[in-house]
Amino acid sequence: MITVHGLTKQYGTRTVVDDVSFTLEPGTVTGFLGPNGAGKSTTMRMMTGLVPATSGTALVGGRPYVELPNPGAVVGTLLDASAVHPGRTGRAHLQLLAAAAGVPAARADEVLALVGLADAARRRVGGYSLGMRQRLGIAGALLADPPVLVFDEPANGLDPEGIRWMRDLLRGHAARGGTVLLSSHLLGEVEHTVDRLLVIGGGRIVADGSVVSLLGAEGTAVRATSPAAFAAALEAAGFAVQQGDDGALVVPGADPAAVGAVAAAGGHVLVDLRPVERALEDLFFSLTA
Amino acid sequence: MTATLAPEHTVTTTVPTPARPAVRPGAASPAALVAIEVRKSLSTRSGRALAAASALLAPTAALVVSAASDGTLGSVTGPIGVMGMLTGLVLLALGVLSTAGEWTHRTVQTTFLLTPRRGRVLAAKAVAVALLGAAFAAVSTALSVGVLALMEQGIVWDGAGQAVAAAVGAGTAFAVIGAGTGAALTNTPAALTGLYLVILGALPVVRTFEPEIGSKLDPAEAVLALAQGDAVARSVLVVAAWTVVALVAGAVVTRRRAVA
């Protein structure tokens, strides 16, 4: 379990992380969301002892990260995929990390295969694409198969297949009882991966809750050949109706079956009927504006 | 882990969960950290090039000078001291790369993530470059001595043992001075430029105008004096002071600097 309490970082008079507190439980994937410069990376670096905190604490299993006897065995961290010597091969890089983390050198080849870089193992990292470096960074974090994963913007540079793979990896890790903290400034990247969202803006946590609780009520978007008549029918049936984009009607809180039933009862012709969620982006901007 | 990304953009999810790898429960031993740092220094082309240069540059220079010169060198101690100094200047760069190179390439991040006790990392780097410095300086000096023995007829070998010790010691110390300075400046170009400007530029000027002060500050002059058996105590003190100051400055910055 990771417990962050009152974590604050000030550079002179500028506060970049302000009294951030949260707890990460085993078996969960937590999305750490915020625009660039919101304080995500600084928080993660304070959690892992790379940046000294001005105040507050971050404990991993009850101990500060720097006091863990072998932190690589407990926390797999990916903060900056470009933090690799370009002159080393991917394999040499991972073998050095394996030695430092105290796992057999052969593990380097295992994790290279795991992230799909087996064919590039003997190539210098300087020739890797951003996506390959990102996968190399993930491979490094997985060397000791640690229970906690802390990834900062891991989807950067990954193609859609890679993002899906990472989603499976992180969900699988949590399903095995692992703890995952995953940051992103692109909400769509993490929306289907995380159980919980921590939203940070201006250095402060502005929202903390499950995806469902933060996204709010779902609804239904519907298009009819006669929108005005159908809107009247919906209102007569007790639904609130809003005018959506491009002539669509939005019925908050209603599921498509209920809206379809009103259409069937009144003989209305529908050309589109689909569930809608409150856009994550809308939530994000409303919280961090 | 449960998922595998196949190279051909085919995502497969494997059901079995492999057993966790054997993981060392505690921190890496000091010897293991030193071994890692030695491997780091020799795992890049720049590191290997510097290692080769440190072993071969001085004997090559000795060969060229001996072949081109008609005169006799007299004592062997002076040439061994000069060759040791040349090797030391190359090993200075090896030391700088071991510390400042990590900041420049930002690999210091993974280094400190896996070994958060930064003092242990710097100590391991200092020992690693000291070992490398001693080894390459020994090879370089042995080759230089071999060249002098073959090429220089009638050269006087008195004091050769002390000169060899001074050359190997200089290689060791200069590598550590480089590591300490690199850790203090956390920037490879700044550390290299600064060190070479001071040792090859500023201190010779000081020596020219204020020889007394220069001899108390200049590690190059100290190495040459040591090789020839002159002012031994003062020379050892000068090199030791450079080493200690560089390491202390490196330790202070390494301990405090945020890895942003």
Predicted pLDDT at B1: 42
Contact A102, A73 (CB under 8 A): yes
Residue B27 has pLDDT above 80, yes or no: yes
What does the alpha-carbon distance between residue B5 and residue A54 come to, in Å, rounded to a whole number? 40
B contact residues 159-218, partner A, Cβ 8 Å cutoff: none
- The per-residue pLDDT for range B50-82, each reduced to its tens digit, is 999 999 999 999 999 888 887 777 889 999 999
User: A161, A80, A87: which is closest to A126 by C-alpha?
Assistant: A87
What does the alpha-carbon distance between residue A179 and residue A148 come to, in Å, rounded to a whole number? 5
Contacts of A102 in chain B (CB under 8 A): 23-26, 28
CATH superfamily of A2-213: P-loop containing nucleotide triphosphate hydrolases (3.40.50.300)
- The ipTM of this complex is 0.88
Q: Which domain holds residue B150?
A: 31-38+45-63+74-256
> Which run of H or of E encompasses A8?
strand A2-11
Residue B200, in any domain of the structure = yes
B116 touching A (Cβ < 8 Å): yes
By Cβ distance, the residue of A51, A68, A161 closest to B9 is A161
CA distance A113 to chain B (A): 8
Contacts of A107 in chain B (CB under 8 A): 21
Residue B10, in any domain of the structure = no
Looking at domain A216-278, its CATH architecture is 2-Layer Sandwich (3.30)
A196 touching B (Cβ < 8 Å): no
Contact partners, residue A140, CB within 8 Å, separation at least 6: A76, A78, A93, A94, A97, A111, B110
Residue B231, in any domain of the structure = yes
CB contact under 8 A, B114 and A100: yes
- The per-residue pLDDT for range B157-167, each reduced to its tens digit, is 999 999 999 99
B contact residues 28-87, partner A, Cβ 8 Å cutoff: 28, 32-33, 35-36, 39-40, 43-46
Residue B164, in any domain of the structure = yes
Residue B197, in any domain of the structure = yes
Q: Residue A289 — very low, low, confident or very high, per pLDDT cuts 50/70/90?
A: low
Predicted pLDDT at A139: 97
Contact partners, residue A98, CB within 8 Å, separation at least 6: A104, A105, A107, A108, A143
- The per-residue pLDDT for range A142-155, each reduced to its tens digit, is 999 999 999 999 98
Residue B25, in any domain of the structure = no
Residue B36 token pair:
């890692």
Residue B194 has pLDDT above 70, yes or no: yes
Count of structural domains, chain B: 1
Residue B124, in any domain of the structure = yes
Domain map (residue ranges) of chain A: 2-213, 216-278
